[in-house]
Amino acid sequence: MQLTVRTSDGRRLSINDGGHPAGRPVFLLHGTPGSRFGPAPRERVLYQLGVRLITFDRPGYGDSDRLPGRTVSAAAADVRQIADALGIGRFAVVGRSGGAPHALACAALLPDRTTRAAALVSLAPRDAPGLHWFDGMTESNVREYVNAAIGRNRVTVTLGRRSRSILADPAASVAEMAGGLPESDRWIVADAGIQDMLVRNFAEGLRSSPDGWVDDVMAFSTGWGFDLGRINTPVKLWHGEDDIFAPVEHTRWLGRHIPDAEVEVERGAAHFGALRVLTRVLSWAVS
């Protein structure tokens, strides 16, 4: 079911409410760039798991209005207002890639409502002490964050150019991305169904503007706005050891700074390995 929720400041958030209507609610937060049409198990699988899955376009993506200057912590308020609008009290949160830090924001800032939180292939905070943040990161991502340090205008120009290229031929952009992936990711992205999903996901997320992508990059480049050390919600962290988009040391750092976090690092897996474990993680989220 597609619907729109209005926030207290008047913004529109575009939402998909799917899976088992009487199932346990889980918010699934999409990657960067992305949309509510990002990777998710099929409806039949969600029914079997007993999961009611709520996805939404973060501000600036798809049909969701922009929230200028947003931080990672702002996601918690949006999740809370969507849950209120849908009549949901308590829920789990799962974030993949760019959605993962936002899932941790919910664990930190909505402790009375977040039952469990999972962060798959997450970045660590940009100012993480003792972490060599760029080590192992692909050059295109390094450029994004170097540009962020120069300023928002620089990021807007460069990601605007990349967004136009993706929108001109989303299928070609996915194919180009796949060519530079580690072998384990290439096998996953070679699946025709996953390629179609990625094409739709990127095209929808960037359809109106590159604003969501720009604001994600800027949010990851500044303080997240919450204390990881105060999270008391059960947290699962998963990462593929060969990830080139968010290097695995980011999750290892998070595991050392989130109390009692469960850390799983898989050898021979990389960034898109998160798609393969997503069903298992959702099962954990509602257990």
List the CATH number of the domain containing 183: 3.40.50.1820
Residue 144 CA to residue 113 CA, distance in Å, equals 34
Average pLDDT, the chain: 97
pLDDT confidence bin for 56, thresholds 50/70/90: very high
Average pLDDT estimate for 207-214 = 96
CB 253 within 8 A of CB 125: no
Could you tell me the residue range of the domain that residue 52 belongs to? 2-285
Average pLDDT estimate for 180-198 = 96
With a pLDDT cut of 70, the percent of the chain lying above it is: 100
DSSP secondary structure of 25-80: EEEEE--SS--TTSS---HHHHHHHTEEEEEEPPTTSTTSPP-TT--TTHHHHHHH
Residue 90 has pLDDT above 90, yes or no: yes
pLDDT confidence bin for 1, thresholds 50/70/90: confident
Domain count, the chain: 1
H runs (alpha helix) in the chain: 43-49, 74-85, 100-109, 139-150, 152-168, 170-179, 183-189, 192-205, 211-220, 248-257, 273-285
Average pLDDT estimate for 252-281 = 98
CB 286 within 8 A of CB 51: yes
* Tokens encoding 106: 């919910």
Closest CA to 17 of 28, 30, 8: 28
Residue 189 CA to residue 236 CA, distance in Å, equals 24
With a pLDDT cut of 90, the percent of the chain lying above it is: 99
